[in-house]
Amino acid sequence: MTSILRIIAQRLLLGILTLFVVSIVIFTAVNMLPGDFAQLILGQGATPEAVEAIRKDLGLDQPPITRYFQWLASALQGDLGNSFAQANFASFVGADGSTNMASVAAQIAPRFENTLFLAGVTALIAVPFSLFLGILAALYRNSIFDRATNILTLSSISSPEFFLAYILILFLAVLNPILPSLSNIYADMPFDERLTRTLLPALTLTLVVTAHMMRMTRAAIINLLASPYIEMARLKGISPMRVIVKHALPNALAPIINVVALNLAYLITGVVVVEVVFVYPGIGQLFVDSVKIRDIPVVQACCLIFATAYILLNLTADILSIISNPRLRHPK
C-alpha cells in the first residue's frame, strides 16, 4: 500500500510540474497572437492615446513576465480574470472611464458544462460499443467481421472530424430528418430535447474515438489468448466468449484503461471542430470566438482547462493501470 501511495504521489508531482510548463507555453503562445484587442475594439480610427489608455486599463502595458505571474497567482486562487469582450465599446468603458468586464469563470462555466455533457453522452455510447467490437473482433479474429470492423474504424479515424460531421448531417438531418443539424441547446432545455440535439455531434465523436479503443481491446485480448491459463480454460471446455470475458479481459485492463482515458481526454480537448460545425455552445466554440476577437483572458483560461483535463485524465489512466497490474507496482 505504501508503494502505491508513493507512486501516486510521484505521478501527481509530475503532473503539477507538467501543468506549470504548459502554463508557460500557453501564456507565451496566446500573447504571440497577431492583433491587439484595444485596437480591435476601438476600430481603425482610434487614436494612439485611446489605444494606450485601454491597454493600460487592461494591464496590457505591463511586461509579459509580470502579467504571467499575476495570471498564474490568480489562477491558483481560482480567479481566471475578467473577459475583455463586450457587446460594444460603450458597455465596455463606463462613463467614468473605467472598464466593465465580465468574469471569465462566469462565462466559461455554462460552456464547460455543455462540453462535459457532450463528452459524457459520447463516452456512454463509444466506450461500451468499442469494447463490444474489440471483444468480438478478438473472438472472430481474421474473419470477415474482424477485417470489416478494422476497415470501417480505420476509415472513420482517418477522416477529419468536419468531414464525418457533414456526412452525418447529410444522412441523418437532410436526406433523413431524424436528428437536428444544429445543436443550439440552452440552460433550461428539457433533458430529452437536450439529448436529442446532442446526439449528432456525439455520434461524430464516437466515430472518431471508436477505432483507438476497439483496436487496443482487440490487440490486448489476442495477446493474452496464447497464455497457459487461457489454454487451460479452453481445455476445461469453457466457451470462447466466456474465456475472453472472464479470463482474458480482466488481465488486459491496463492498456485498455490507458486508451479509454486518452480518448476521454480527447472528448474534452478535441471537440473544437465538432462544436463549431454543429454550433454547439461549448467551451470549444467559446475558444474559437475568443481567438477571433483576441480576448486573451478567455483564450488562456480555455487552454488551461484543456491542458488540466488532459493531464488529469492521463494521470488517472496511469494510476488505474498501476493499480490494476501488479507487475507495474513491482517492476523488479
- pLDDT digit string, tens, across residues 179-228: 888 888 888 888 989 999 999 999 999 988 888 888 888 888 888 877 78
Higher-confidence residue of 326 and 261: namely 261
Distance of alpha carbon 291 from alpha carbon 305, whole angstroms? 15
Could you give the C-alpha distances from 61 to 64, 65, 66, in angstroms and in order? 9, 12, 10
What pTM did the predictor assign? 0.81
Q: Is the dihedral of CA 170, 172, 177, 180 positive or negative?
A: negative
Is the predicted pLDDT of residue 234 greater than 90, yes or no?
no
Distance of alpha carbon 47 from alpha carbon 173, whole angstroms? 49
Q: Which CATH superfamily is domain 111-292 in?
A: MetI-like (1.10.3720.10)
Q: Could you tell me what percent of the chain has a pLDDT over 90?
A: 13
201, 275 Cβ separation under 8 angstroms: yes
What cell was used for 300? 488562456
* DSSP summary character for residue 239: -
CB atoms within 10 A of CB 10: 10
Residue intervals in the chain for CATH 1.10.3720.10: 111-292
